[in-house]
Amino acid sequence: MLNIAETQHLFAEKNIQFFLMSFVDLHGTPRAKLVPAECLEDVCAGAAGFAGFAVDGVGQGPHDPDLSCTPVADSTVFPLPWKPGMAWIAGNLTMDGGEWAHCPRTILSRAMADAKSQGFLFKVGVEPEFFLIDKKADGSIGVADAGDTLAKPCYGQLSLLRNADFLTTVITYANQLGYGVYQNDHEDANGQFEINWRYSDALTTADRVSFFKFMVKALAEERGLCATFMPKPFANLTGNGSHMHLSLWDTEGKDNLFLDKSDPLGLSSLALSFLAGILDHAKGLCALTAPSVNSYKRFGARSPRSGATWAPIYIAYGGNNRTMMVRVPAPGRMEYRTADGSSNPYLASAALLAAGLDGVKRGLRPADPRSGNLFLLSPREARAQGIELLPANLGEALDELEKDDVLCAALGESYAQTYLETKREEWDEYAEMIAKDVSAWELKRYLGL
């Protein structure tokens, strides 16, 4: 359980009068109750009750008893820098004092405990990209910064300066909360930004990603803007990735077990087996790291305005090469580039850890690393070289997840079933819609318009 005395001391020090008792649903959407600070002990005892049926993917009907959102020993507590007197607490869903199998944070905690029993601490760094947009009177959306018009806007200095008030506010607040931000840049699309902070254990990072998205959206709203982590909000612009840097350490977090300076890529034997596990489970992983219909518009897009999608479509790895699904940017870590802004950070990390450890358990070894620009390969050319494709849409990814016993076991049998059912409803709704819609492409091709 959360250390009540320490938290009460923090509340007194920061003059916290209210806190958000928060958890995320299946989609990674934050849910919360606003609670007076003096009720902290009651909440720790299970008083923050939620009707689970009202939350997507929690696995309850309207007849089921309430779930509680309960602080646990490793809960993150953040005072809200932009809202004095308020704090945020990451909680786990429980029922009758016991763990609830449909809680994403609990699923990751369970995966981390399993890794610890094998002598490993899983560390993750995440690079969430987002757009700052505004909504027009006609309901359409556009880039919020009217001056951000370069065909190749990446690293645009003037665009950074025009948005500096917002960006530096986010960075300042994140650093007040211990993130350790070390850089921010204008990304490859107009109106798109990325803020990078220090990596940590996977659970801490997932909490930080969850809070970061909430904070960025809240601060944008205060300025009359909208911040979105949607994978592909604009057809002609690069989409939002959420690249994940992965490494295994000893349980004390002191020795990087992925590091081997004698290896050409700087990866140990353990790291190569972990990487091979990710490649082996790549198709099923997509259902959790690219979990929306929109995700696959980022994958399959033709080159956008800037010239590159930066989104892999092939199951391949290599050195410091951004056309790969797994990039090795530096010794001792690997970057998984398939994750996007719609992924649930807890489920994505749990799945990647399970896939990697399966590779370790089975002693898998990857083929030789690839080189060159894979974005130039057609699917037919890739297959001729023995390179497999990632799923083309959410439906295919869900089929792959359903067949993947390792990933389903990491989620838990009950939650895996709920996840598949929930996401299949999303895919079926979309598939039915596009099946009835007559596109401009069809009119042009078949009617000559």
d(CA 42, CA 35): 10
Reply yes or no on whether the pLDDT at 18 is more than 90.
yes
Residue range 143-181, pLDDT digits in tens: 999 999 999 999 999 999 999 999 999 999 999 999 999
Rg (CA), the chain: 22
Reply yes or no on whether the pLDDT at 426 is more than 80.
yes
Reply yes or no on whether the pLDDT at 449 is more than 80.
no
Reply yes or no on whether the pLDDT at 307 is more than 80.
no
Question: Which DSSP helix (H) or strand (E) runs through 345?
Answer: helix 345-362
Q: Where are the alpha helices (DSSP H) in 146-257?
A: 157-162, 164-176, 202-222
Q: Which of 390, 398, 399 is nearest to 313 (CA)?
A: 390
Angle between helices 345-362 and 269-280 (to 10 degrees): 120
**Residue 302 — pLDDT band, cuts 50, 70, 90?**
low
Mean pLDDT comparison of 71-75, 136-140, 232-236, 346-350, highest-scoring range:
346-350
Q: Where are the alpha helices (DSSP H) in 45-191?
A: 104-117, 157-162, 164-176
Residues in the chain: 449
Our measurement of the distance from residue 145's CA atom to the centroid of its chain's CA atoms, rounded to an integer in Å, reads: 26
Tokens for 327? 């990039």
Please count the other Cβ atoms lying within 10 Å of the Cβ belonging to residue 372. 10
Q: Where are the alpha helices (DSSP H) in 51-163?
A: 104-117, 157-162
Residue range 169-218, pLDDT digits in tens: 999 999 999 999 999 999 999 999 999 999 999 999 999 999 999 999 99
Q: Which of 292, 326, 298 is nearest to 310 (CA)?
A: 298
